[in-house]
Amino acid sequence: MGICVRKRCFLGALALGPAALAALGTRALAPVRVAAASDLKFALAELARQYQSQAGSSVQLSLGSSGQFVQQIRQGLPVDLYMSADEDFVFQLADAGLTRDRGALYALGRIAAVVAAASPLVLDPALEGLRAAGAGIRHFAIANPEHAPYGRAAREALERLGLWQWFRPKLVLGENIAQATQFVTSGAAQAGISALSLALAPEVARLARHVVLPDRLHAPLRQRMVLLKSASAQASEFYAFLQTQAARAILRRYGFAFD
Amino acid sequence: MDWQATRVSLLLAVLTAVLLLPPGIALARWLAFSSWRGKPLAEACLMLPLLLPPTVIGFYLLLALGQGSPLGAWLARQLDLRLVFSFEGLLLASVLINLPFMVQPIQRAFAAIPNSLREAAWVSGLSNWRTFVRIELPLAWPGLLAGVALTAAHTLGEFGVVLMVGGSIPGQTRTLSIAIYDRVQAFDTAAAHVMALALVASSVVAVALVFAADRRRPLQER
């Protein structure tokens, strides 16, 4: 008898549990859903805060690798705005008929070599200091060149500097540029190539030192954004906001350039 | 501490366990008492989610149910049902993956019931159903608890499939494990620590529950 009562109570709790949890969920106004490249992590957070304070509608950010988002959007990822670090990805989606138009260029990105703040390694724009460190660098982190634009730019820069073969056996690949940077700040990799926008952010600047790499070392990181077909009116407003002078001022502080 | 992600994770864990319990009991009981020759094949199929990497399962689910697939497009058009990048999709994936976690402990519990007890019940006039409810279920009780606890704990920790078919949508598919991944990439290791420790603690509690229940095996002589 005792066991039966306990079991019924248990099953009853199991059934009520989900209902209670579901009721705890808040119902909010539809936010603007953005899928953005990881290099925008801190810049976009600030832009979203600025926009939310003046417009009232909230912005929901998802950050990751530009290439991965293209795959997910093709599979039906429910987002309003896609902000890529490479305009080719935007054109792919436009050609597939998933977007309103061919989007707009919102910034030009830059890469930077990074080491942990306490590291004794010497940073210079030609990466000579890192080369000289020799075996002192066991792991060198970049984003995956296959689907992350900043990884592709890192590879191009290393090739133009004639250092690709030297660094290649030491490479560790981050799934996106934020993860690659995190490998360096955590000390797992001794050095790496990150996005300037990440390296300049206060959260990263206190964990890592950086040096900007010349933009002639890689094909330009033309960062383009586009509204998806099902985007809401609020999303269009946010899209317009991102092209204003106020938004560009914020982007400039994170090292982005404009045409 | 990401409370929204905690809520998604808890809801997913509880719903998975609840949805899986009835079919789990049915399947486990059949496997325990049946003498069908094809049983080893059935048990091997059941083990598949344990053997396959979660990313493989997620990959095939994405291909089979995403907007780009015929089935996915049909579901979206006819039933307004999206099974990728939605909580429902995550629940489906979770139920499929956790089948062995629910079935195996319950199957062992049922198999431990001596046939003589069931025969005694039948001889005493109890029908199959009443034997199941009054005799078998109470005796298999620790196995049910183990199945539920392991399913819930495993779902709380699920990462590979959620990453592939979830899309990390806050409030919908951003679970605690994804939130930890997210915080690490945001250079916020303190927040990642808090959530990771919470997950470890809940897993320990779940496993402790399983072991504690096991010690109260109803079939043992007191």
In a domain, B186, yes or no: yes
Find the angle CA(A85)-CA(A88)-CA(A91) to the nearest 5 degrees: 115
In a domain, B17, yes or no: yes
Domain that holds residue B177: 3-215
For the entire predicted model, the pTM comes to: 0.82
The C-alpha atoms of residue A167 and residue A156 are separated, in whole angstroms, by 12
Which B residues in the span 1-60 are in contact with A, Cβ-Cβ below 8 Å? 7, 10-11, 14-15, 17-18, 21
Portions of chain A given CATH number 3.40.190.10 = 32-108+220-253, 110-217
Mean confidence (pLDDT) of chain A: 89
Could you please state the CATH topology (level 3) that the domain comprising A110-217 is classified under: D-Maltodextrin-Binding Protein; domain 2 (3.40.190)
- Mean local confidence (pLDDT), A212-228: 95
- Architecture of the domain spanning A32-108+220-253: 3-Layer(aba) Sandwich (3.40)
Confidence class of residue A44 from pLDDT cuts 50, 70 and 90? Answer: very high
Q: What is the pLDDT of residue B1?
A: 84
* Residue among B11, B141, B170 minimizing CB distance to A22: B11
Q: Quick one: what percent of chain B has pLDDT higher than 90?
A: 55
In a domain, B15, yes or no: yes
Higher pLDDT among residues B63 and A25, named by residue? B63
- Mean local confidence (pLDDT), A221-225: 96
Picking from A29, A41, A69, A75 by the largest number of B CB atoms within 10 A of its own CB, the best residue to mutate is A75
Q: What is the pLDDT of residue B220?
A: 62
Cβ-Cβ contacts under 8 Å, A75 against chain B: 62, 66-68, 72, 84-85
Inter-residue contact A148 to A177 (CB < 8 Å):
yes
The CATH number given to whatever domain includes residue B58 is: 1.10.3720.10
Q: Helix or strand or coil: residue A214?
A: coil
Domains in chain B, number = 1
In a domain, B169, yes or no: yes
Q: What is the pLDDT of residue B59?
A: 86
In a domain, B221, yes or no: no
Residues with Cβ within 8 Å of residue A135, at least 6 apart in sequence: none
Q: Quick check: A22 pLDDT over 80?
A: no
* Residue among B76, B167, B189 minimizing CB distance to A77: B167
Cβ-Cβ contacts under 8 Å, A72 against chain B: 85, 167
Q: Quick check: A27 pLDDT over 50?
A: no
Give the model confidence (pLDDT) of A199-214 as tens digits.
999 999 999 999 999 9
Residue closest to A78 by CA, chosen among B111, B160, B171: B171
